[in-house]
Structure 1
Amino acid sequence: MGIIHNASFGRNDVTIEKTETIFKGFLQIERVSLRHRLFDQMGSSPQLTREIVHRKQAAGVLLYDDQQQKFALIEQFRIGAIQDPISPWQLEVIAGILDGDETAEDCIRREAVEESGCQVDRLKHLFSFYPSAGACDEVFHLYSAATHLPQQGGVFGVVTEGENIKLHLIDYEDLDLLLDSQRLCNAPVIMALQWLKQHLFTLDRL
């Protein structure tokens, strides 16, 4: 049980010796020189140099409608997937970057309207996680929300921000087919749909 609740080391076991900003734009990149403790050894590591991408926290939500037996995903172009063998247009949960002092839940409510036209009231927190802790300090807060989905999808997004987002409404009965396909290529959507599968299993047992 210890491995579940207690980390082996903490922040005080890392010594940062030098930090240098090497790029500052929409993202900020720093080069960090550091030493850290080692497992099963005395002392610290030799000096290591790592680059870290600083990115604001983000939040996303899976919208679902038990009455209609549907859930919502969005599809949009992503530069990081430009070399994807299937498509740079990725299927995702509704999501966005926290703006200023905005909370994750406020961010989700704003993004839900912008990307789907849906109002969201109650939110269920699923996970908060690092999408790519090997290089980036972004934290992603993932939620689900039961809501009343529209009868059909559409195209949404804030045009002035370069958004062109297609809303898909997917039947619950197609969930397993989607999970087995090669169209899900990012962690939040896979995690959210795995949660939805558990949710549907609970409904079936009631």
Structure 2
Amino acid sequence: MALKEMLRGALRAGGLAPDRCEAALAYLCAVIGPDTRLELMRAAVPELMLCFDTLTVEQARAQLPKILLRAQCRLHAGQNRPSRWSQAQGRDTIDVAVARMPYNAFFAVREDDLTHPRFDGTRSALINRAAFMMGDAVSVMPYDPLRDRVLLVEQFRFAPYARGDAFPWVIEPVAGRIDLGETPEEAARRECVEEAGLALQELVACGQFYPSPGGVSEFMYSFVACVALPDDLAGFGGLESEDEDIRTLLLSFDALMEMVDTGAVQNGVLLASALWLARHRDRLRRAV
């Protein structure tokens, strides 16, 4: 009963026409089932309503785990605050005329016709924008302050291949999606075990950011982990259940900086993590 009343309230707050409200409510209840995570379900309503006219109950139910993962991202994003250097305005100043979701599978694509406030005080014309919707992610670069080296991974990446890259294998930090119900720190520790067989203790946050905000919703939580990295850690890893094929490699700090200086780093998250380490390396080494 609590779920149904919450959904009804969310539909009314969203301005859904009364003649569609009951049909939409029945659809949402059929897709969601008896789930009692009310806050998460409320955050999922906007995307589920984009599915209302395009996906059957069975199709939407099959996509529900991914929809809930993006709802978790929506909850986290709602806690964001602008920095003192920003002149950002709240999302409630954006007027959406039409919202669509033309693709909804492992990832999703959202397309809106909207207007937004301009910095000169006027409003924009009606514009069309699209975003590739992804779950939030973590990266972690293990660093051994005694041996002064890092652990990185190399693996095949489909996106560079799809772009036409002649060598679509990428050297990068350990990284992965944050699962439903996980904190970024929990995800970072899990990914290090899965990709590198490495159990972490201390995690040092080194950035939270959108890697490509022009068209991708992914938000990254990046960490450096101070941990012992003996020679025998170099090798191969990854989960067979996820068809991962990962090479782990150990690089000295100087070799990492050579990669940065020569343009050999082709992963933006690795570049950010390497530059953060260059700035804070002395402090981390003094602490051991």
TM-score in terms of structure 1 length: 0.91
Residue 236 of structure 2 aligns with an amino acid whose one-letter code is V
Which of 1 and 2 has greater Rg?
Answer: 2
Aligned to 1:172: 253
Structure having the larger proportion of residues in helix: 2
Which one scores higher on RCO, CA 8 angstroms, separation ≥ 6? 1
1:28-57 per-position Cα deviation (integer Å, ceiling 9, x unaligned): 111111110112143x21111111111000
Q: CA RMSD in A?
A: 2.0
Aligned to 1:102: 182
Aligned to 2:71: none
1:29 and 1:88 map into 2 onto residues whose CA distance is 24
Contact 1:33 1:48 in 2 (8 A): yes
Contact 2:99 2:110 in 1 (8 A): yes
Shift of 1:91: 0.7
Contact 2:146 2:285 in 1 (8 A): no
Q: Percent identity?
A: 29
Residue 185 of structure 1 aligns with an amino acid whose one-letter code is Q
5 Å-filtered alignment, 1:1-206, equals 4-42=84-122, 44-82=123-161, 83-85=164-166, 87-152=167-232, 153-202=234-283
Contact 2:145 2:284 in 1 (8 A): no
Contact 1:91 1:183 in 2 (8 A): no
1:117-136 per-position Cα deviation (integer Å, ceiling 9, x unaligned): 11111111111111111111
1:81-129 per-position Cα deviation (integer Å, ceiling 9, x unaligned): 12235x2110100011011111110001000011111111111111111
Structure having the larger proportion of residues in strand: 1
Aligned length: 203
TM-score in terms of structure 2 length: 0.66
Shift of 1:180: 1.6
Shift of 1:12: 2.1
Shift of 1:179: 1.1
1:20 and 1:3 map into 2 onto residues whose CA distance is 31
1:155-183 per-position Cα deviation (integer Å, ceiling 9, x unaligned): 10001211000001011232321112332
